[in-house]
Amino acid sequence: MNDKKGRTGAFIQVKNVWKQYGDQVVLERLNMNIAEGEFCTLVGASGCGKSTFLRLLLGQEAPSRGEILLDGQPLADEPDASRGVVFQRYSVFPHLSVLDNVALGLELPRAPFLGRLLGRSKRDAREQATQMLHKVGLDHALDKYPAQLSGGMQQRLAIAQALIMKPRVLLLDEPFGALDPGIRKDMHALLLELWRETRLTVFMVTHDLSEGFSLGSRVLVFDKPRIDPHAPGAYGARVTYDISLHDGHRAPVAADSLPADLAGRFQTAYQGA
């Protein structure tokens, strides 16, 4: 395993991954290597498996065939602290205050029986959580419950909650899908800032192409290359375009490598941004 990793230098290796539910093939023959610190955005039409792929990375589901290696080791087949996640909804705990939502991540791993810290270590955890909340701009709302926050604030909280774990991989499942455009822009700035600071490996599912291109350092386009009209479930989606957007030649590379229909949509979105 280790020599392979040395050869490819990849942080995450996806090897011939298939996912099917019964006869329905959702993903087929996925192969890719992802370097540490990459910001991958997963775009594509709805129902083409990008969220399924995210669930595979999260360990919520296992691939039907093939394997995913994280740092040369097969992924744990259940969610754990190495991978943080933010969902579109239900990412924060409604019964905990903002502060406790974040401090929870420091308490759970250290208290396997009580699930909570006491005394000094509890104060330390809360102190750390406060700093993290300051970073995402929530230090004015420490004692509020999530239901008292706006949608954007809740997602800020969810991001703080995921980052306090210092995960190696951050998975975002349409995290800004339910937010207003203005708020969404603020969230983009925040996310990029945190990504540059932590150098996390990020996977973000989005149905918004311009969001995918403006945030990502690498865009993975999911699509079904083969469709059998008599058996819609027979073939799954693959990554049809894998576009690196490293600084300097972001837009041209993107525009050149995109197929005409996608590029048209992208151009408008890009110019609009």
| Residue ranges binding other proteins (CB under 8 A) | 58, 60, 78-81, 83-85, 87, 89-96, 104-105, 107-109, 111-116, 145-148, 161-162, 165, 167
- Closest separation in Å from C-beta 104 to other proteins: 6
Shortest Cβ distance from residue 202 to other proteins (Å)?
A: 14
The candidate with the shortest Cα–Cα distance to 72, out of 1, 17, 14, 168, is 1
- Closest by Cα among 203, 191, 196, 211 to 136: 191
Residue 204 vs 262, nearer CB to other proteins: 204
List the 24-34 sheet strands across, edge first: 24-34, 12-21, 65-70, 73-74
Q: Give SS3 for 248.
A: coil
Place of tokens 């604030």: 153
The bridge status of strand 83-86 relative to strand 169-173 is parallel
- Say whether 110 sits in a helix, a strand or coil: helix
- Residue placing its CB nearer to other proteins in the complex, 114 or 227: 114
Q: In the bound complex, what is the minimum distance in angstroms from residue 126's beta carbon to other proteins?
A: 15
Judged by beta carbon, residue 102 or residue 237, the one nearer other proteins is 102
Q: How far is the CB of 241 from other proteins (least distance, A)?
A: 29
Q: What is the 3-state secondary structure (H, E, C) of 163-231?
A: HCCCCCEEEEECCCCCCCHHHHHHHHHHHHHHHHHHCCEEEEECCCHHHHHHHCCEEEEEECCCCCCCC
Distance CA 23, CA 244 (A): 33
**Shortest separation between residue 165's beta carbon and other proteins, angstroms:** 6
In the complex, least distance from residue 61 CB atom to other proteins, rounded to whole angstroms: 11
